[in-house]
Amino acid sequence: MRLYVITGDQGSEVETARIVEAALEGGANVIQLRKKTMPKGEQYAMALALRRLTLLHDALFIVNDHVDIAIAADADGVHLGQDDLPPSVVRQLPGFDGRLIGRSTHSLEQARTAIKEGADYIAVGPVYLTPTKAGRPAVGTGLVSEVAAIADRPFVAVGGIDHDNAPAVVEAGARALAVVRAVYDAADPAEAARRLHELIVTRLEVARR
């Protein structure tokens, strides 16, 4: 994981697929389908389209919340919030075997719990205030550093991250960044993804020296 792009709530299947394809061409290597207000039948059709695109670009495809859609669309995994089923329960569901589980975390305690529960990766945030998570306070780059110190598996920083503040998040210890608006709402999603991906890789190379 390096650049993890989450779909915005707006946009039809055709428009979402166009943006996702551009993001993949720009360097995104994880796509999450997140459409909080869209009927599940429409989400399933969209999931099939995004699954095809991610396969073509050798990228991971994750479905937010809906384990049934993830299984039906043969996604690589599902992303669970704090109020969703525990990872141990999801793993036992028929058809889920071999798929990944991501878990949203908003504190060091939640990150530790997600690791203990066996999540394959965790998301830490929102790092900055974001309308995508309205009402949830920002955790700041401090939590990113704390999780980086204990994480024994991939984690992705998420929430209000854009090209301007991304360097601070990488320097805090994030090796992967998740974004919605910075790519999905960009005038040129491919170029926005390319710039962010290049920034992540460059900053990580500097950190290794």
pLDDT band at 63 (very low <50, low <70, confident <90, very high): very high
pLDDT band at 116 (very low <50, low <70, confident <90, very high): very high
R_g of the chain, CA atoms, integer Å: 16
Mean of the pLDDT values across residues 88-106?
Answer: 96
pLDDT in tens, 124-164: 999 998 877 767 889 999 999 999 999 999 999 999 999 99
At a CB cut-off of 8 Å and minimum separation 6, what does 52 contact?
none
Mean of the pLDDT values across residues 38-60?
Answer: 97
pLDDT confidence of residue 87: 94
Please give the Cα distance from 90 to 10 (Å, whole number). Answer: 28
Please give the Cα distance from 6 to 181 (Å, whole number). Answer: 9
pLDDT band at 123 (very low <50, low <70, confident <90, very high): very high
Which H or E run contains 121?
strand 121-124
Q: Could you state, in order of their start, the residue ranges of all structural domains in the chain?
A: 3-208
Determine the straight-line distance between the first and last CA of the chain, rounded to whole angstroms: 21
pLDDT confidence of residue 134: 67
Please give the Cα distance from 189 to 30 (Å, whole number). Answer: 14
Task: Tell me the whole-structure pTM to 2 decimals.
Answer: 0.96
The second-level CATH assignment, the architecture, of 3-208 is Alpha-Beta Barrel (3.20)
